Amino acid sequence: MHNGTTITQFIIEEQRHIAGATGDFTSLLNDVVTACKVLSNMVNHGALVGVLGSAGTENVQGETQKKLDVLSNEVFLKSNEWAGHLAAMASEEMDEIYPIPAQYPRGKYLLTFDPLDGSSNIDVNVSVGTIFSILRCPGGTDEPTERDFLQAGTQQIAAGYALYGPSTMMVLTTGNGVNGFTLDQNIGEFILTHPDMKIPADTREFAINASNMRFWDEPIRRYVQECLDGEEGARGEDFNMRWIASMVAEVHRILTRGGVFMYPMDAKMRASGQDGKLRLLYEANPMSFIVEQAGGGSITGTERILDLQPETLHQRVSVILGSKNEVERILEYHQQG
């Protein structure tokens, strides 16, 4: 039996240190947590409840949506629209922003999310996750617009992810370190199990989709080649490689034992006018906030991701994140050209 701190208790205690806090934010986070519990249950039941497979539709990025992509988006909207904390939401699965419907009160926050990231893994029963970010709504709450969402990652109030793996976990930052909670299925509560998570500054493990190797820019080629050369090469040490194709699982591994995750811009994307694979507002920014709060680094190659000024809602970006010394090395390789 666990008698630890629940995530609600943790958030309330954190909020007590913030002068003038109204409890609004605590309550919003609670609704996000509830949505993730519902998703955990759905993902866990999989084929038993008929949620696997394609929905037969495409999202704004032209990707085929899975049934669970569509369902998880609905769950997130329904869980978070009613309570009066949000002005609007934006998701990977919706072309436009979702202003809170008129029958509910509107609040001062904005929520962005990828309800089910890594969804190519759903049908093969490999870990997937939810990523979310909370911003303040700068333009007032009456008529929220896309422009309100276009804030640099440094403006995030909170960011987190839920990982639906062998156990379901929630990892959260409110800008005061990173804490991890494990879902106790018996009592239906997330319990603090990983307080103050820190990414080791050094690592001997990297993650990249090597099928794109022929399109990589020189600095990425150099970095990966030096890792592959191992003990006999420039690094003088052997490296290990992992690729799960689920960013949440990848970032969680890095938070647990260090590592570098790369989905860099490449020649193929450049040729098709694409700015990267991952989306800035609901993938790269929240993950960069978490990684930096755990002592790691997160860059495009040449720039800190959290400093980027977003221009569109579904903007993509090159992502290199993880153990600080390796990320700094990759930055140097880019600066050397």
Which residues contact ligand AHM by CB under 6 A?
63, 92, 114, 117-120, 209, 245-247, 250, 263
Stretch binding Mg ion (CB under 5 A), from 116-124, 160-168, 225-233, 252-260: 116-124
63 binds, among Mg ion, ligand AHM, none (CB under 5 to 8 A by kind): ligand AHM
Q: Token pair for residue 12? A: 């309330």
Is the CB of residue 306 less than 8 Å from the CB of residue 135? no
31 binds, among ligand AHM, Mg ion, none (CB under 5 to 8 A by kind): none
293 binds, among Mg ion, ligand AHM, none (CB under 5 to 8 A by kind): none
Closer Cβ to ligand AHM, 63 or 184, answer by number: 63
Stretch binding Mg ion (CB under 5 A), from 39-47, 106-114, 152-160, 224-232: 106-114
Q: Spell out the residues 6+ positions from residue 194 whose beta carbon is closer than 8 angstroms to its own.
A: 169, 171, 179, 180, 181, 182
154 binds, among Mg ion, ligand AHM, none (CB under 5 to 8 A by kind): none
The Cα-based distances of 297 to 201, 257, 266, 304, 319 in angstroms read 9, 15, 20, 8, 11
Closer Cβ to ligand AHM, 118 or 322, answer by number: 118
Stretch binding Mg ion (CB under 5 A), from 80-88, 103-111, 113-121, 237-245: 113-121
Is the CB of residue 322 less than 8 Å from the CB of residue 269? no
Count of residues engaged in binding Mg ion, rule: CB under 5 A: 2
Q: Token pair for residue 91? A: 């998701």
Closer Cβ to ligand AHM, 247 or 331, answer by number: 247
Residue among 230, 265, 259, 235 at smallest CA distance from 247: 259
Closer Cβ to Mg ion, 57 or 176, answer by number: 57
Is the CB of residue 206 less than 8 Å from the CB of residue 241? yes
Strands 109-117 and 98-99: unpaired
Tell me if 114 contacts Mg ion by CB under 5 A: yes
Nearest distance from residue 108's CB to ligand AHM, in Å?
A: 28
Q: Is 254 helix (H, G, I), strand (E, B) or coil?
A: helix
246 binds, among Mg ion, ligand AHM, none (CB under 5 to 8 A by kind): ligand AHM
Closer Cβ to ligand AHM, 235 or 242, answer by number: 242
Nearest distance from residue 56's CB to ligand AHM, in Å?
A: 16
HSE of 314, CA atoms in CB hemisphere, 13 A:
14
Say which amino acid occupies 310. P
Closer Cβ to ligand AHM, 92 or 292, answer by number: 92
Nearest distance from residue 13's CB to ligand AHM, in Å?
A: 32
Closer Cβ to ligand AHM, 18 or 60, answer by number: 60
193 binds, among Mg ion, ligand AHM, none (CB under 5 to 8 A by kind): none
In the bound complex, which residue of the shown chain has the CB atom lying closest to ligand AHM? 247
- Give the C-alpha separation, 315 to 92, whole Å: 10
- Give the C-alpha separation, 308 to 36, whole Å: 28
SS3 content of the chain, % helix, strand, coil (to 5): 40, 25, 35
Tell me if 117 contacts Mg ion by CB under 5 A: yes
Element (H, E) at 287: helix 285-293
Q: What string of DSSP letters covers 131-147?
A: EEEEEE-TT-SSS--HH
Closer Cβ to ligand AHM, 7 or 299, answer by number: 299
- Give the C-alpha separation, 212 to 209, whole Å: 6
* Residues at the interface with Mg ion (CB under 5 A): 114, 117
